[in-house]
Amino acid sequence: MYTLYYSPGSASMVVHAALIETGAPYALELLDFEQGEQHGKAYLRLNPQGTVPTLIIDGIPYSESAGLLMTLAERHPEAELAPPKGSPLRPAWHQWMAYLTNNLGATYRYWFYPRDLGADEHPEQVREALREKIESVWRRLDGELAANGPYLLGDRFSAADLLLTMYMRWSRNMPRPATSWPALDRLALLVRQRPGWQRMVELEGLTDWTLMA
């Protein structure tokens, strides 16, 4: 039994989707960000950063979405969230997990939280630099998927595609959403059609960027 501390549509959503893919039993603990529950003393004992996700594994709390995805892939190889150890695709899977986290996760943090860079709002020059950084990643990934897709590992779905789709969703209100690139749009459709993703959306009560919206 796992326990996932989450907030709908946040970085916890990809771990939630992966848990459903594994079929393992889990419990959900909702954190109300509007009420600041992520900064409560009880939660900070689990996650001193006051962020989500936190996943309780064998009674021990762990964080960081990409790390949790890799852990779930190793603990549940039958879910095929990653190529098996020894597979020629395994190095590429590690590559994409690291690439997405470093090039989208960190940059999104600055895009959505200007105070991390010391301002209530970004100066136009900073905002444009962050936008271009994110869009440069979309261009690279779209080219990769167009040439070798439809998934990041060719015709094999993996947790890397879940992670990418979460990041794509976060771009939905940006000046140029990720789905305006055709190969990325195709991957997003494939992932959103998966029963596990649809179940996660239903449980989290998400109503935008669904197959019906």
Per-residue pLDDT at 176? 97
Q: Report the domain count for the chain.
A: 2
Q: Which long-range contacts link 45-50 to residues 24+ away (Cβ below 8 Å)?
A: 46/5, 47/5
145, 69: one domain: no
Task: Tell which of 81, 101, 119 closes a domain.
Answer: 81
- Mean pLDDT, residues 121-134: 96
Whether the per-residue pLDDT at 213 is higher than 60: the answer is no
Query: Of all residues in the chain, what percent carry a pLDDT higher than 90?
Result: 94
Q: What is the DSSP string of 102-163?
A: IIIIHHHHHHH-GGGGT-SS--HHHHHHHHHHHHHHHHHHHHHHHHH-SBTBBTB--HHHHH
106, 182: one domain: yes
* 3-state SS, residue 211: coil
Read off the pLDDT of residues 80-96 as tens digits, 9 standing for 90 and up.
999 999 999 999 999 99
The pTM of the full predicted model, rounded to 2 decimals, is 0.96
CATH number at residue 7: 3.40.30.10
Task: Tell which of 49, 81, 113 closes a domain.
Answer: 81
Query: Of all residues in the chain, what percent carry a pLDDT higher than 70?
Result: 99
Per-residue pLDDT at 211? 76
Question: CA 3, CA 107: separation in Å to the nearest integer?
Answer: 28
Is residue 209 situated within a structural domain?
no
Is residue 102 situated within a structural domain?
yes
Question: CA 95, CA 122: separation in Å to the nearest integer?
Answer: 31
Task: Tell which of 48, 81, 114 closes a domain.
Answer: 81
Q: 212: pLDDT confidence band, cut at 50, 70 and 90?
A: low
* Residue 54 β-bridge partners: 5, 63
Average pLDDT, the chain: 96
Read off the pLDDT of residues 41-68 as tens digits, 9 standing for 90 and up.
999 999 999 999 999 999 999 999 999 9
Read off the pLDDT of residues 184-203 as tens digits, 9 standing for 90 and up.
999 999 999 999 999 999 99
* Lookup: tokens for 198: 């649809």
Question: CA 199, CA 22: separation in Å to the nearest integer?
Answer: 13
- Supply the range of the domain harboring residue 35: 2-81
